[in-house]
Amino acid sequence: MDDDDDFDFQALFFEECHELLGTLQEHLNQLADGTNDEETVHAAFRAVHSVKGGAAAFGFDQLISFAHIFETVMDLIRSDQMVPTAEINQILLRSGDMMEVLIEGAENGTPVDEEKLDNLQAELEHLASGEAPAASAPAAPVSASPSPAGAEPAVADGFELFGGDDEQGDDAGEPAAEPETEGETTREVTVRFTPDADFFASGHDPLRLLRSAKSHDLTSLEAIGQVPDLEAFDPSVCALSFEMVFQTAKSVSELEEFFEIYAHIADIEFLADAEEEDVSGEEEAEPPQSASVSPETPAETASPDAKPAPEATANDGQAQAKPMEAGKPAASGGAKQRGGPSKSLRVELPRIDRLVNLVGEMLITQAGIAQKLMEIQAADSSEDGMEMGHNVEAMSRQLRELQESVMAIRAQPVKSVFSRMPRVVRDLADKLGKEAKLELSGEHTEVDATVIEELAEPLTHMLRNSMDHGLEATTEDRIAAGKSRVGLIKLSAEHRGERVIITVEDDGRGVNRERVLAKARENNLISAEDNLSPEEIDMLIFHPGFSTAAEVSSVSGRGVGMDVVKKKIVSLGGRCALESTPGKGTRFEITLPLTLAVMDGMTIVVGDQKFILPLSSVVEALHIDSDALKHLPNGETLLERRGEFLRLIDLRTVLCQPTAGEAVDMAIVVDTETSGLVALVVDELIGQRQIVLKSLEANFRRVEGISGATILGDGQVALILDVPSLLSMNGSGGTYSEMMH
């Protein structure tokens, strides 16, 4: 294998590792929350096991060693030989963090804190040795030197099952003593285990499998494969098959779960004893039939000319199998299904980004064709022009469908970020001495992958704010306020039109507006004469350097948290809102675009320039009657609309466009989500179109009131307006021209 291939495989391994880490953290969090059901424990175990197997293929010794002892502890929990207490769960959570550090170190060459690693590994080894099952006897030493801590037991334990240790004498090949079952009905289950040739290369160890199988009542073992001739022998290729016999009171499905982690790397066949299959003593099973485990289909009768095992693991003359549990299908995931087409394809994100960009360029080209066609049709209304128009419309529909399909490929559920947050809340609760729980909802809400990558930091800061400032300082304070002793924080996501809404809500004490106001005046953010509304006071917490904390701590006090939140969300084309009720709690709301690539917009003319309004914020267009205008003493103008008055903003003034003394004639009503409905004065409404977003900040610099730019069909560049930012500029007396200089 050349270096390029090796690099590609490593990149794939690390990509899978990050996915496995997400799965591991999710299920470790569930364990810490008290959800220690079988599937949760199995999923966490499989994640650690898979990372270890991949690391072995590339020789990442540090990661292999740590993952092995971590896996051992998880296996004890999985086999009900260890109960995960609060202290054990904390060790497991820290071990999950260490796995992430080790993977990052292997991937990027970053140093690992050796002392921290050694201490944590020692804690895991203590758990593994202190809670070890009584049936696990210490392995016989293979040399005078002691085995390192956390290493695999000596291989003699495995050869004892093979009957191949010289010291065991004539009785070495005898079956192990049958397990004591004290009145339970047992059955005999034979398992034929045929590993793939790359079983070793994937980091798996047959000896470890056999040792673990002993705790599941393994009574005898026979090697049924053929070792190749010496000339053809390759020690890195697994060439042996095994036939294991279990005399057990456990069900076949329980044994299938034990073998489940090997299903992707081996063929596994379960042959149950028909006469002892029904443990409850009900009617006898059907006559013997051959059954094989399939992930999706029930057990079926095998034909006499069934497909033989691979040549390296020949298995001729196998006995007829007994049926599985009567009437039950083979367990899902019990063995690997071979030969079926893959239902998923892993594609690197940059390739999808390239496809998205190409679709965007096609939309721009299509808009140019449509614009030119309109000019031709205006000069010539022949049938050819009409037919061409139909073709352009069809192309437009197909391009929209293509764009939506491509964006759906790049969309990912927010679960990958949300799953990290329970750990944040739990750690903060321990640090602050508070009792709190986090409720998640809408984890499967999908958003552009480029947006998801940037969400972890702002969400962490918002949760820190809710924990430190939102919830009451002590449990006694909550009880005195008539609340539950455990604080509640809700993190949710939902689609609303063309946007994604993420909320962080707590049931704490709410924003102390008097304290915020006093702190703002102390820091000269506002003057003593400024008369702010409650909503404006609340928004002061997003100001850089603002904090109400009495002293700086490891959690808060430097005034950077909420400022970071706002800057990050604004950079993603989103906005932040805040609602707070004293004594009841606080609700943060983040509004984000579904995608940062393509959007529907309304083209308007202000002065002599074309601009784009996001269609998701447009409510309606109105012709303005002068009688519907109401001028206030402070200089503001209101527009009456069906019995309600809306704030009227003249975009010609805000955007510094010439008015030529023309009277106000047309307004677009928009929903700002934070300030309600507002009417914007425009000179002309051209129509709706799908536009491709181009970053102004990346190509020029950030401009207040402008969220980006696009290229129109006639080749002109039109700026995309950021309505909430425009309103903020108008309220502060600022203009577009001032913001540009």
Structural domains of the chain, ranges and CATH numbers in brackets: 2-129 (1.20.120.160), 187-271 (3.30.70), 412-548+560-593 (3.30.565.10), 598-731 (2.40.50.180)
pLDDT of residue 9: 72
| DSSP class of 334 | S
**Residues 636, 729 contacting (CB under 8 angstroms):** no
How many angstroms separate the CA atoms of 586 and 516, rounded? 14
What angle (nearest 5°) sits at the alpha carbon of residue 68, between those of residues 67 and 70? 60
Phi, psi at 120, each rounded to 5°: -70, -40
Q: What does 163-191 look like in DSSP terms, one character per residue?
A: T--GGGGGGGGSPPPPPP-TT---EEEEE
Q: How far apart are CA 396 and CA 370, in angstroms?
A: 9
Q: Please give the pLDDT value at position 651.
A: 86
Asked whether the beta carbons of 399 and 418 are under 8 A apart, the reply is: no
pLDDT at 326: 36
Greatest alpha-carbon pair distance for the chain in Å reads: 111
Amino acid 21: pLDDT: 87
In the numeric block, which tokens belong to residue 542?
């997003």
Write down the pLDDT at residue 341.
47
Phi-psi region of 708 (alpha: psi -120 to 50; beta: other; left: phi over 0): left
Tell me phi and psi for residue 166, to 5 degrees.
-60, -30
Secondary structure string (H, E, C) spanning 395-444: HHHHHHHHHHHHHHHHEEECHHHHCCHHHHHHHHHHHHCCCEEEEEECCC
Q: Which amino acid, one-letter code, is at 608? A: D
Residue 596: which of 459, 723, 452, 462 has the closest Cα? Answer: 452
pTM score: 0.57
What is d(CA 502, CA 587) in angstroms, rounded to the nearest whole number?
A: 10
List of the chain residues with pLDDT < 70: 1-8, 130-184, 201-203, 225, 227, 230-231, 272-344, 548-561, 596, 659-664, 673-675, 697-699, 728-741
State how far the Cα of 200 lies from the Cα of 484, in Å rounded to an integer.
Answer: 54
User: If we measure between CA atoms, which residue out of 570, 550, 572, 547 comes closest to residue 560?
Assistant: 547
| pLDDT at residue 282, as a whole number | 43
Residue identified by tokens 């677009």 is 668
SS (H, E, C) 490-519: EEEEEEECCEEEEEEEECCCCCCHHHHHHH
Q: Give the pLDDT score at 208.
A: 72
SS3 577: strand
| End-to-end C-alpha distance for the chain, whole angstroms | 58
Beta strands in 137-184 (DSSP E): none
β-bridge partners, 308: none
3-state SS, residue 682:
strand
Q: Which amino acid is at 703?
A: V
Asked whether the beta carbons of 351 and 449 are under 8 A apart, the reply is: no
Helix (H, G, I), strand (E, B) or coil at 604: strand
Q: Kindly state the DSSP code that residue 469 receives in the 8-state scheme.
A: I
Residues with Cβ within 8 Å of 319's Cβ and at least 6 positions away in sequence, in order, are 271
Tell me which amino acid residue 89 is.
Answer: N
